[in-house]
Amino acid sequence: MTEMVFGTAPVRVGEPVLPRWWRTIDKWTLSCVFILFGVGLLLGLAASPPLAEKNGFADLFHYVKRQAAFGAVGLVVMIAITMMDPARVRRMAVIGFAGALLALMLLPFFGTDFGKGATRWFSLGFASVQPSEFLKPAFVVTSAWLMAAGLEIGGPPGRLYSFLMASLVVILLALQPDFGQASLILFAWGVMYFVSGAPLTLLLGIAGLVVAGGTFAYHNSEHFARRIDGFLNPAIDPTTQIGYATNAIREGGFFGVGVGEGTVKWSLPDAHTDFIIAVAAEEYGLVLVMVIIALYATITVRSLWRLLKERDPFIRLAGTGLACAFGIQAFINMGVAVRLLPAKGMTLPFVSYGGSSVIASGIALGALLAFTRTRPQGEIGDILIRRGR
Question: What confidence score (pLDDT) does residue 377 get?
Answer: 63
Question: What confidence score (pLDDT) does residue 211 get?
Answer: 82
DSSP 77-140: HHHHHHTS-HHHHHHHHHHHHHHHHHHHHHHHHH-B-TTSSS--BEE-SS-EE-HHHHHHHHHH
Distance of CA 352 to the CA centre of its chain: 12
pTM of the model: 0.89
Question: What confidence score (pLDDT) does residue 3 get?
Answer: 41
Contact 40, 351 (CB under 8 A): yes
Question: What confidence score (pLDDT) does residue 381 get?
Answer: 45
pLDDT tens, residue order, the chain (389 aa): 334 344 444 555 567 888 889 999 999 999 999 999 999 999 999 888 888 888 888 888 889 999 999 999 999 999 999 999 999 999 999 999 999 999 999 998 888 887 777 788 888 887 889 999 999 999 999 999 999 999 888 889 999 999 999 999 999 998 888 888 999 999 999 999 999 887 778 778 878 887 887 788 778 777 677 777 777 777 676 677 788 888 888 888 888 888 878 888 888 777 888 889 999 999 999 999 999 999 999 999 999 999 998 989 999 999 999 999 999 999 999 998 888 888 777 899 999 998 899 999 999 999 999 999 987 765 444 444 454 44
- Cβ atoms within 10 Å of 220's Cβ, excluding its own: 9
- Cβ atoms within 10 Å of 237's Cβ, excluding its own: 11
- Cβ atoms within 10 Å of 208's Cβ, excluding its own: 10
How far is residue 122's CA from residue 110's CA, in Å, rounded to a whole number? 7
Question: What confidence score (pLDDT) does residue 379 get?
Answer: 46
DSSP-derived secondary structure letter, 373 = S
271: which residues sit within 8 A by CB, 6+ positions away?
Answer: 47, 50, 51, 264, 265, 278, 279
Q: Which long-range contacts (CB under 8 A, 24 or more apart) does 259-266 make?
A: 259/46, 259/283, 259/284, 260/46, 262/46, 265/46, 265/47, 265/49, 265/50, 266/50
